[in-house]
Structure 1
Amino acid sequence: MSMSAVEPGTRLADRFRLEDRVSEFGGATLWKAIDEILARPVAVHTFSPEFLRVDEVVRAARAASRLTDPRLTQVFDAADQDGTAYVVSEWVSGESLLDLLTSRPIEPERGAALVAEAAEALAHAHDEGLTHLNLTPSRLVWTTGSTVKLLGLAVDAAILGLTSDDPVRDDTLGLGRLLYAAVTGHWPGDGDSGLPPAPLDYGKLCTPRQVTAGVPGYLDAITCRILLQEPRRGQPPLTTPAEIADALSEVPRPAPVPISPNPPALNQRTEAPETATPWPAQPAAPPPVPPRPQQQSGAASKILLTIIVLLVMAAVGLGAWTVGKNLGTTPAVAQSPSPTPSETPKPVTVKAVSAEGFDPLGDDHSENPNLAGAAIDGKSSTDWHTTSYNSPELGRLKDGVGLILDMGKSIPISDVSVSLGDVPGSSIELKVGDATELSSLKTVAKEADASGTVTLTPSKATTGQYVLIWFTRLPPYQGKYRGSIYDILVHSSASA
């Protein structure tokens, strides 16, 4: 049978009957077919006579068939004989990551859980020498059986003619792009993925938290460690799927739910009904019903009642004797209620009146003053930063530099939360006082080799109108050294 004779109704290997043509690309056709022996739907790829990579596809499919990870599409058969080549694989019904992101918002951690499963499966494939090279949102599926499937391992690349000098790196970046898409709904790669492109900031990819509100900081950091290949939160870049799987190991995973006895018919493109829902909530188990107490017989009830009455009478008598004894030996004194200890006021966030770059040891006594407001605007995507210096000790030009806040009046300082950059190496001090001269500001807390969000808590009661975050050592930045503050929150026990 020639390839041109392949049409709906064609039977391959005397068991796979082609039914519906799903898609065509570059001489490869995807069909929904029926395995007549096992009476189940399967996916079948067939190829036109002009398709030149049949041998590569069949070899890739046979290699993929040896993998047993249930999160990878199972390959059932692959052959090239009698002028007909085909690959038979598992038919997957469900919603792809693309479907989920374009049909309704999903929580970032739920999207990340899909990618975590894909990373683990891909790590197993890499251990066997197989790669994917075509990781897109349409290839990651949340199935109707509430499981995760990664479609097209090895076979996609062979069909599309994709090769790589460093396939581990390419699959790692592919997982990073999937994670970015899962938490932001934007695609940070080339080509048309079906999602809006990720925004850029002066030519550099915006971080997930710059794009979408509510992305957890640890997911933002993991994504940047993959895509930007930068250390974040004191952790190195992630360079393999196994490292990504380990970094995402704490993401809550979706719990499988029973498959509906009549699942909706979905094609391999995972076109899903509107009623499909990712991560269906498990119904809570009904509370146990306490057993009904058995009724006592008449005689037993009377005996029990008599015992209870005797015990009550004994307790009353003992109490009366004790009261009488106390009245006879000590005068009655009216007791005043014990004073209720005053509750410690709960710290509240106090908004600063203004912020200024603070460089009293420099020539102009200021440091990037035009950026200072970004540290108190409540936006994690904006920052104030120091000038770039040639060494972590500020080029040995001065003892320190910082950002000073005017709280408007002197207030008690409970603690100050400072969001720094993700690169470690900052040494900072918290200084508080009622004047802006450096000599009037007292150091009340400090932190060395800091990164991320740091809470500085004075060791004793501290009040002041001015709060200074003082850098004495800077982290590396683009070949030099620069300190950054994305946000400052001042907490006070003051009621006003």
Structure 2
Amino acid sequence: MTQVGEGQEAEESAPQVMTFGAPTAGEILAERYELVEHINNDSAGRLVWRGVDVILRRPVAVVLRYPGGDSATEMLQGAVAASRVIHPNLVGVYDAIDEADRAYVVREWVDGQSLRELAADGPLDPARATTIGNAVASALAAVHATDMVHGNVHPGTVMISDDGRVVLADARTDGDDTQQSDVRAVGGILYFALTGHWPHAEAPLRGATAGHGRAAIPDAVRDADGRIAAPRQVRAGVPAYLDDLTMDLLDAEIAPPSSDVLAAELARLDVPADEQFLDNSGPLRFAADTGDEPSPLAAAGGRKVAIGIAGLLAVALVGLLIGISALRGGGDESPRTNPVAAPSSNPPADGATPAAAAVRELKISAARIIDDPKGDREELRNAERVHDGDEDKGWETQTYVGHANFGNIKQGMGVWIDLGGEHTVKSVQVLLSARGASARLLTGTSNPPSSSKGDGQLYAAYKGNLIGQPFEEHDGTKMTFNGFDADTKYRYLLFWITELPPSDGGYKLGVQEITVHGS
């Protein structure tokens, strides 16, 4: 695998990298990281090595820059920022070291290839392109939840491991990138996966963001006026809904949704290749005529879904005519006393899979505070505020003195929520009062009574059922959990706090609002 730092190998015409005192195979950096093999140099002049962490005995990628100091500030700052976000679709960053004459970042080694390499043999099928887009959007949602920007999303920084895992690497902190430009870059990823061409040329056309082009990646197909061709114009077999979504993300005149909403929508579309029934769900668009049914993207990103009302009315009319014909029967004049058929619980005769339900905000029917059995249960009031829609009012802990982990008094405490019934859940977002908290999301099926004993039973039953990755000393006020099993129904969730941020001479945290999206 090309473990490049910028996600792009250096061109042959690039200037020679100055590497005075460059390392050699077998050298051990920081008394821990043994260099095994020089892989390549990236477009920023950094050396990329495959190495081994001799303490933990795991493979690592080591990205070195000569010299260190001020010239390596951007690289090190980006690595430090990335290390704060733990997500299955983000490359893990383990270490960042500046030795003045050189600086290096140690990160996860991924066996596989970049999207740029994967698409070199031809465009990907729509199902796989959707899976990759979903993974990238989910990774960005985790980054954006910390109020940070990735700033380096392109086919070279999207890696696909040999076991199929999709990860995003090499965040940057320089430039004028925004969370919106990150989201638009997902459109570029979808476009590239579907066509093998990159739509973000230096001259922004049809909404492409300038400055995102990468050498050695073919430019998008364009007409005489420089407008990029839609994926369906480049190749056959691209579903209309995916074509429209991709082009809307690239259109600067259409406001993109937030990354978490886009991730939820792509997760809805990310279905196995043998279940591609989504053509019947209607094209997904950011803008539509007034009166069209709003989608989840409309609620959070200013988009509306063009449901195809005329088509649905036509289908309904045909169904009505067929029903009338069936009621009349071929020459049978006997009266029909029960013309309305009872709904059938059997699957369609042709074996077709019913269309997936749209992602929406799920109503929380109840919430209560779960305390560690060692606690005094003095913080049980105001749990209903975490789902009242008012972000200015929430539930909060007491102020603990001594240590962030509740003064070493107890393991933690949290907010238990009941969705009122079983649902497919796509994501949970928790808005907090302050940065620096550590927490995780758990699930279970039991609902013991609200008592010290009941709380202990509930936590014991839930603690082994982790959703996604826990947040440790989170550098943000929003935590987004996306690690739900699409084949599992959920009713009870537990947001469990393990460490509190500093506040008023002690440690304290408020949970302002919990939002659940699913179907």
- TM-score tier after normalising by the smaller chain length: 0.3 to 0.5
Larger Rg: 1
Q: TM-score, normalised by structure 1?
A: 0.48
TM-score by length of 2: 0.46
